[in-house]
Amino acid sequence: MLKSMTGYGVSNIESDSINVTVEIKTLNSKFLDIYCRIPRNYSDKEIEIRNLITQSLERGKVEFTLSVQPVGKTVASTSVNRPLVNAYFADLSSTATDLGFVPDTTELFRIALQMPNAYNNEAAEDSDKENDWVQIKVAVMEALRKCNVFREQEGKMTSDKFVEYIKTISGLLDSVSEQDKLRIPAVRERLEKHVRELLADDNFDTNRFEQELIYYVEKFDISEEKIRLANHLTYFTETLKASESNGKKLNFIAQEIGREINTIGSKANDATIQHFVVQMKDELEKIKEQTMNII
């Protein structure tokens, strides 16, 4: 089953002490690129969070946001460092007096609060923090699960589109085969004309005659290209049905499909077939664009 790299998952869990909200957004990327926004007092859990994301999401650009709000009578984890703020305030007041002007006490207080270490980040008890982490981890796993469900739904829709694109290209290939039957007599007539001209030449060269035959046979025959293109289309469809999602493999097959379509267009030398080739290229571009978003 295909899985898209576009996903979204959010979960919210409330316990006696905290309210946890986890939000995960994912977009396409060649590799797994994780960006985490987590509260400072849980920064020591970032590695574990990244490991959980890596195990679940495999690939893509991941934006992870964790919000933890205390509830009930939980003591705030941040408080003003009063002794230090008082010292900052006194020093600023003294400096203003030395400079010869009367300071605005409100402004001095605001500046003092912005000075380094003006706040204490009180660490929660280890036991409480670990209990809270259990709840946070549950929320993280639920958000990851929802994100994967979203990715699978997006992958299913993309797979259905792929089937439509492949059917269109296959139908156009059938049209190419029908037109090829009409093209062959014209090619044969052109070839016979060149042969007659060579035979009428007094300086007829047998080697040149063989070279001309080989040239025209190779230049105008698209039988092998049609067979290979049909095989690539079948292989692409079979890969869609595989149990594991593989966007890179689908992209490689799409490149092979493109090579055969281009070769048919260059060798056919027929306006109608060229028209079919342009339509096939248009469908193939849609496939290539979508494979870039598949895991």
pLDDT in tens, 233-242: 999 999 998 8
Burial level of 96, CB count in 10 A (0-12/13-18/19+)?
middle
Taking every pair of C-alpha atoms in the chain, what is the biggest distance, in angstroms? 116
Same domain, 286 and 180: yes
Query: What integer pLDDT is reported at residue 182 of this predicted model?
Result: 86
Query: What integer pLDDT is reported at residue 76 of this predicted model?
Result: 53
Percent of the chain whose pLDDT exceeds 70: 88
**What is the identity of the amino acid at 159?**
S
Same domain, 206 and 131: no
Global pTM exceeds 0.85: no
Mean of pLDDT values over 265-273 = 89
Same domain, 214 and 243: yes
Which of 107, 133, 154 marks a domain boundary? 154
Query: What integer pLDDT is reported at residue 25 of this predicted model?
Result: 97
Query: What integer pLDDT is reported at residue 190 of this predicted model?
Result: 73
Structure tokens at 191: 């070839």
Is residue 12 a part of any domain in this protein?
yes
pLDDT beyond 80 at 102 = yes
Burial level of 72, CB count in 10 A (0-12/13-18/19+)?
exposed
What are residue 120's phi and psi, to 5 degrees? -100, 125
Order of strands, edge to edge, in the sheet holding 60-70? 7-14, 18-27, 60-70, 32-37
pLDDT per residue as tens digits for the range 119-160: 665 555 566 788 899 999 999 999 999 999 999 999 999 999
Could you tell me which residue, 38 or 213, shows the higher pLDDT? 38
Is residue 208 a part of any domain in this protein?
yes
Give me the domain span that covers residue 212.
155-291
Is residue 214 a part of any domain in this protein?
yes
What are residue 119's phi and psi, to 5 degrees? -125, 145
Query: What integer pLDDT is reported at residue 10 of this predicted model?
Result: 97
Same domain, 23 and 148: yes
pLDDT beyond 70 at 202 = no
Same domain, 91 and 215: no
Task: Report residue 212's pLDDT band, with 50, 70 and 90 as the boundaries.
Answer: low
Structure tokens at 130: 């670990």
pLDDT per residue as tens digits for the range 215-239: 766 677 899 999 999 999 999 999 9
d(CA 37, CA 49): 11
Q: Please say whether the dihedral angle defined by the alpha carbons of residues 121, 126, 130 and 135, taken in this order, is positive or negative.
A: negative
Highest mean pLDDT (candidates 36-40, 81-85, 133-137): 133-137
SS3 of the chain: CCCECCEEEEEEEECCCEEEEEEEEEECCCCEEEEEECCHHHHHHHHHHHHHHHHHHCCEEEEEEEEEEECCCCCCCEEECHHHHHHHHHHHHHHHHHCCCCCCHHHHHHHHHCCCCCEEECCCCHHHHHHHHHHHHHHHHHHHHHHHHHHHHHHHHHHHHHHHHHHHHHHHHHHHHHHHHHHHHHHHHHHHHHHHHHHHCCCCCHHHHHHHHHHHHHHHCCHHHHHHHHHHHHHHHHHHCCCCCCHHHHHHHHHHHHHHHHHHHHHHCCHHHHHHHHHHHHHHHHHHHHHCCEC
Residues 6+ apart with CB under 8 A from 152: 1, 3, 4
Query: What integer pLDDT is reported at residue 209 of this predicted model?
Result: 63
CATH for 128: 3.30.230
Same domain, 281 and 232: yes
Same domain, 165 and 37: no
Give the lowest-confidence range in 53-57, 95-99, 247-251, 261-265: 95-99
Same domain, 44 and 106: no
Helix 271-291 / helix 126-200 crossing angle, nearest 10 deg:
170
Q: Which residues share a beta bridge with 37?
A: 65
